[in-house]
A and B are shown apart, each in its own frame.
Chain A
Amino acid sequence: MTLAMILAGGRVGELNALTYYRPKSAVPFGGFGRVIDFALSNLMNSGIERVAILSQYRSYSLINHLGTGAAWDMTGRYRRISILPPFQGSDETDWYRGSADAVFKNLDFVKYQKPERILILSGDHIYRMNYQDLIDYHQMKDADVTFACIKVEAQEAHRFGVAAIDDEDGEIGGKVSDYWEKPEQPQSNWASLTVLCFKPDVLYRVLKENQHEGSFEFGRDIIPKMIGDGLRVYGYKFSGYWGYTRTVEEYWRSSMDMLGDNPDIDLEKWGFRTNLDHLGIRDFQPLITGEECSVANSLIYNGCTVEGTVKNSILFPGVHVGKGAIVENSVVFFNNIIGKGCRLNKVVSDVNNNYGAESSVGGRSGCMPGRVTVVGWDNAVPAGYRIEEGAMIYPGIGEGNWPDIVKEGEVIR
C-alpha cells in the first residue's frame, strides 16, 4: 500500500492577492477546478487510495474543497483522504517549520497506516503523471528515495532544486549523485518536481535526524543529506507537460497552455476531477450565449452568460460578460460580473468581482500586454474606472478607497 502525502500548506507570497485568503493549492485553475486537483486526479488515476493532506495556511478553503474526497473516488472501506493540520501535543506546539517537519510531526499517523511506500507530493503543480511508473522504478532500483525530475532550460534551472542524474537507466532515470536547491550556478538542468517516493523506515530515520538541524525542507535538507549518507537516491526522468503556478506570470502562462487547438493541458483526456459541490459548481445551468456574443479560443464553464466578446480566455462558473464588453487573454474566477462595454486584457480576476460599465482593466484592447494585472476578490471596480496593466489590486478595496486611476504596476491595498 502506498500512502500519499500532499504538501498543500504553502501560501507563496509571489501570488500575492490570489493567495491572500487561501493556500496556493486552493487557487482556482482550469475553468472549474483548483490547483490541487491535479495532484488528486493523478493519485486517483494512478490507483493510490490513501491520501493525507498537510495544510497550514488558511486551510478552510482547502477543507471545503476536499469535502469527503468522493470527487476523487477516495471514500470507501479502504479509501480515504485525511487532512492533517498543525496541532498542539505534549511535545509539539509549533507550526510546521517546513515540509519535512510537517511530515515528521505526523509520523504517528503515517506509521499507523503501515505503508509500504510513502509518496510525497507538492499540491502546487499542473501536470499529469502516472505515479505508478515512478513507484515501479523506485521498486526496481530498491531505492531509498526516488524523485521525479524534468529537464528545464539552463537559464531557468537556478529557480529550482536541481539534481545530477546519471544515465543508469537511460531515459527512464538514474542514480542521483548531487543535489542543489536553487543554485546560483546550476551544474545540471534536471529540476525536481517535488514528487518523492520514500522507503518508510528510511524516511522515519532521516526525518528524526533532521530534527536536530535548523532547516526542515525535503529539497534543501533531506535529499542532500541522504546523498551524503550514501543512501540509494534515484531520479525518475519525466518528460510530460509541467506547469508552474509560483508567480502570477507563471499562473497566467499555465492557464493559457489550456487553450488552442492542441492544448498542452486537455482536462478531458487527462481524466481531471474536481469537487463539484464546492461553491455549488454543479448547480449552475449551462452556458447561455446572447444574440450578439463573440467567443474565440476560450474555455467557458456552466453558469456563465456571455453577451459580449470573449477571446483567449478562461471563464469559471457564474461569470456574466455584458453587452459590448471585451474579455481577452484573461482568467476570470467564479461569479464575476463584467459590465457593459468593459475591457479586460491579460487580467486574472479572483472570485466575486464586479466591473462597472465601461471600466477598463489591464492592457489596451487588441494588443498583448506585457504584464498580468491581478484583481483580488470582492472588489467592485467603479464604472468607467481605469486600472493599468501590471497592477495588483488586493481583496476588498472598499467603495471610496479607489484612487483616481491605478497606474501601471501599482499595488492597491
Chain B
Amino acid sequence: MTWSKDALVLLLAGGVGSRLNILVKKRAKPAVPFAGIYRIIDFSLSNVMVSGLTKVGVLTQYKPLSLMSHLGTGEAWDFTGRSRGVKILPPRTGEKDSDWYQGTADAVRRNMDYLRNNPAREVLILSGDHIYNMDFDAVIDYHRSKGADVTVGMMVVPESEIHHFGAGITDEDNRIIDWEEKPKVARTNLASMGIYVFDYAYLLRTLARNRDEVDFGMHILPHAIKCDNVFAYPFSGYWRDVGTIQAYWQANMDVLNPESGISIPHWQVRTNVEAEGRPADRPPARFGANVVLKNSLISAGSNIQGTVINSVLSPGIVVEKGAVVKDSIVFADCIIRKGSMVDLAILDKRVEVGAEAVIGEGGNCDFANRVYPSHLFSGITLLGKEARVPARMSIGRNCIIDCNVTADHLPAAGLADGESIFLPEK
C-alpha cells in the first residue's frame, strides 16, 4: 500500500440548500451560479487546487446532473493527470446500505471503499456550500504540528449567529474542550466552518465504530473531543454560508465591493467554462451607444443597450434600450426587454422580462413572502428558470415566480408584494 503525501479530499456536495428556494429546484446548492460565471462549489474546488491537493471525491446526492456536468473531467481545477483526479461519488445501494445519506458522517462512511482505495496521511472533508479562500496546506501543516486526530476549521462569528453553527470551546492551545451543535444559548462565538482534517487511520477507525453516528457535528466530534485530540484551526477572513437568499444576494454584491474581502482574481478562483455547451466561448460583451453602467459585473456574451447598476450579470444577458437592471443578480441568457425595470431581483437562467414590465414594483419591502416568509423578507424577488413575465406586467417585492411560469399562469394584474406563483410538480 502506497501512501500519498497529499491529503485526500472529500467534498460534500449533496445538500439540498432548500432555503435557496427555487434556485435549487433544478440543481444542488453547490451548483448554484455565483458572481457571473462561477458556481458556489468553484470556491472550494479552487481552494483545493491552489493548496496543491490533487485527489478529490465529490459526494453528491440531490439533483447532481448540473454538478456533474460542471465538474467534467476536473481539468478546470488541474485535477487531471496520472496521480490526480476528481471522482463523483453518488449514493448507491450495497449489501447493507440502500438508503439515502443520513448525515455527513454517514455519507463518508458509505464511501469507505473509495477511502480504502485512496490511502493518504489525512482526509480533508469540506462542504461545497461556502464562499471563502483558505490555504488547506496550512491547515494540514497545523494539524500535523498539533499532533491532532481531528482539526476543525473555525472562525469567530457574532454571538447572535452562533445558533446556526457547531460551536466549540477551546483552551489556550486551541484544543477543543467542549462542543455544542447549534446551541440555543451562546457560550462562545467560535463557529465550525464544516471543514475537517482527519488522520486517515483515525477516520477509518472512527467511522467503523458505530453506524448510528451519522453526523460529524452531532456525533463524531463530541465523542472525539471527549476521548481524542481535537484542535481548532482559527480562520479569519471572508467566509460566507450562502445558504439563504439574503446571504446569497449579499455575497454576490460583495464581489462588486473591493473592500468586502472577496477577491476572485487573488483567490485564483477557477470554473469550468466548457460545461453546458461551452458558454464562455461567447464573444466579448457588447455595449450600445447609450448605456449607463455603474458598479457592476458583466460577463462575456452579454449585449447591453440599457442601464445596469450594482448588478451581477452572467453570460449572454440582453438588456435592451431603456431597460434598467438594478441591485440584481441575473443568470445566463436572460432577456430584459425594452423599457423594463428589474430592481432587487434574482433571475434564474433564460428568464424573459417583457417590454416595460416591472420586477420589484414600489418601495415597500416589508411584506415578506406569504408562502416562504423566512426565505424572502428583505425585498428580493425571485424568478425561476425560464419564467416569462409578459410586457407591461408589474411584479412586486418579495415575490416568487416559479420555473417555467408564463403569461398563462400569471394574473393580468401582476403580483402584489409577497405573492407567489408556483406550478404543480410534474
Residues in chain B near residue A71, CB distance under 8 A: 281
Decide if B265 is an interface residue (CB 8 Å cutoff). yes
CB closest chain-B residue, reference A313: B287
Digit string of B128-170 for contact with A (CB within 8 Å is 1, else 0)?
0000000000000000000000000000000000000000000
- Please state if B285 and A299 are interface contacts (CB–CB under 8 Å): yes
Given contacts A30-B284, A32-B283, contact A289 B270 (CB under 8 A): no
CB closest chain-B residue, reference A259: B286
Digit string of B388-407 for contact with A (CB within 8 Å is 1, else 0)?
00000000000000000000
CB closest chain-A residue, reference B290: A296
| Dominant secondary structure at the B interface | loop
Kindly state the separation between the CA atoms of A163 and B213 in the bound complex, as whole angstroms.
83
Within 222-276 of B, Cβ neighbours of A (below 8 Å) are at 256, 264-265, 268-270, 273
- Please state if B273 and A282 are interface contacts (CB–CB under 8 Å): yes
Kindly state the separation between the CA atoms of A316 and B295 in the bound complex, as whole angstroms.
20
- Please state if B36 and A295 are interface contacts (CB–CB under 8 Å): no
Decide if B35 is an interface residue (CB 8 Å cutoff). yes
Kindly state the separation between the CA atoms of A290 and B293 in the bound complex, as whole angstroms.
8
| B320 CB → nearest A CB, Å | 12
Within 264-316 of A, Cβ neighbours of B (below 8 Å) are at 267-268, 272-274, 276, 282-302, 306, 310, 314-316
> Which of B35, B287, B293, B299 is the one whose CB lies under 8 Å from A299?
B287
Kindly state the separation between the CA atoms of A394 and B149 in the bound complex, as whole angstroms.
61
| B194 CB → nearest A CB, Å | 25
Within 142-160 of A, Cβ neighbours of B (below 8 Å) are at none
Residues in chain A near residue B280, CB distance under 8 A: 276, 282, 302
| B273 CB → nearest A CB, Å | 4
Given contacts A276-B280, A296-B291, contact A289 B285 (CB under 8 A): no
- Please state if B288 and A299 are interface contacts (CB–CB under 8 Å): no
Residues in chain B near residue A184, CB distance under 8 A: none
| B269 CB → nearest A CB, Å | 7
Given contacts A285-B36, A288-B256, A302-B37, contact A293 B293 (CB under 8 A): yes
- Please state if A286 and B293 are interface contacts (CB–CB under 8 Å): no
Given contacts A276-B273, A295-B293, A296-B291, contact A289 B298 (CB under 8 A): yes
| A332 CB → nearest B CB, Å | 12
| A388 CB → nearest B CB, Å | 28
> Which of A272, A283, A294, A301 is the one whose CB lies under 8 Å from B285?
A301
- Please state if B296 and A289 are interface contacts (CB–CB under 8 Å): yes
Given contacts A32-B300, A295-B293, A302-B299, contact A286 B287 (CB under 8 A): no
- Please state if A286 and B288 are interface contacts (CB–CB under 8 Å): no
CB closest chain-B residue, reference A272: B283
CB closest chain-A residue, reference B293: A289
Residues in chain B near residue A294, CB distance under 8 A: 293
Decide if B313 is an interface residue (CB 8 Å cutoff). yes
CB closest chain-B residue, reference A280: B270
- Please state if A299 and B284 are interface contacts (CB–CB under 8 Å): yes
Kindly state the separation between the CA atoms of A276 and B315 in the bound complex, as whole angstroms.
15
Decide if B84 is an interface residue (CB 8 Å cutoff). no
Decide if A261 is an interface residue (CB 8 Å cutoff). yes
> Which of B36, B283, B297 is the one whose CB lies under 8 Å from A267?
B283
- Please state if B288 and A297 are interface contacts (CB–CB under 8 Å): yes
| B349 CB → nearest A CB, Å | 16
Decide if A31 is an interface residue (CB 8 Å cutoff). yes
Residues in chain A near residue B308, CB distance under 8 A: 289
Interface centre among A287, A301, A310, A315 (most CB of B within 10 A): A287
Residues in chain A near residue B296, CB distance under 8 A: 288-289
Decide if B282 is an interface residue (CB 8 Å cutoff). yes
CB closest chain-B residue, reference A263: B286
| A314 CB → nearest B CB, Å | 7
Within 229-275 of A, Cβ neighbours of B (below 8 Å) are at 261, 267-268, 272-274
Decide if B289 is an interface residue (CB 8 Å cutoff). yes
CB closest chain-A residue, reference B314: A286
CB closest chain-A residue, reference B321: A261
- Please state if A291 and B37 are interface contacts (CB–CB under 8 Å): no
CB closest chain-A residue, reference B38: A285
Kindly state the separation between the CA atoms of A302 and B295 in the bound complex, as whole angstroms.
15
- Please state if B289 and A299 are interface contacts (CB–CB under 8 Å): no
Residues in chain B near residue A282, CB distance under 8 A: 76, 273, 280
Within 346-394 of B, Cβ neighbours of A (below 8 Å) are at none
> Which of A32, A289, A292, A297 is the one whose CB lies under 8 Å from B284?
A32
Digit string of B288-327 for contact with A (CB within 8 Å is 1, else 0)?
1111011111111100000010000100000000000000
Given contacts A31-B284, A290-B295, contact A283 B270 (CB under 8 A): yes
Residues in chain B near residue A295, CB distance under 8 A: 287, 291, 293
Q: Hey, which bits of chain A sit against chain B, CB under 8 A?
A: 30-32, 71, 261, 267-268, 272-274, 276, 282-302, 306, 310, 314-316
Q: Hey, which bits of chain B sit against chain A, CB under 8 A?
A: 35-37, 76, 256, 264-265, 268-270, 273, 280-291, 293-301, 308, 313
- Can you name 7 extra interface pairs (CB under 8 A) apart from A284-B265, A285-B35, A286-B297? A282-B76, A285-B265, A287-B297, A290-B294, A291-B295, A296-B289, A300-B284
Report the 10 A-B pairs with minimum CB-CB distance, sorted nearest first. A31-B284, A267-B283, A286-B36, A301-B284, A286-B299, A299-B284, A289-B293, A285-B264, A282-B273, A287-B298
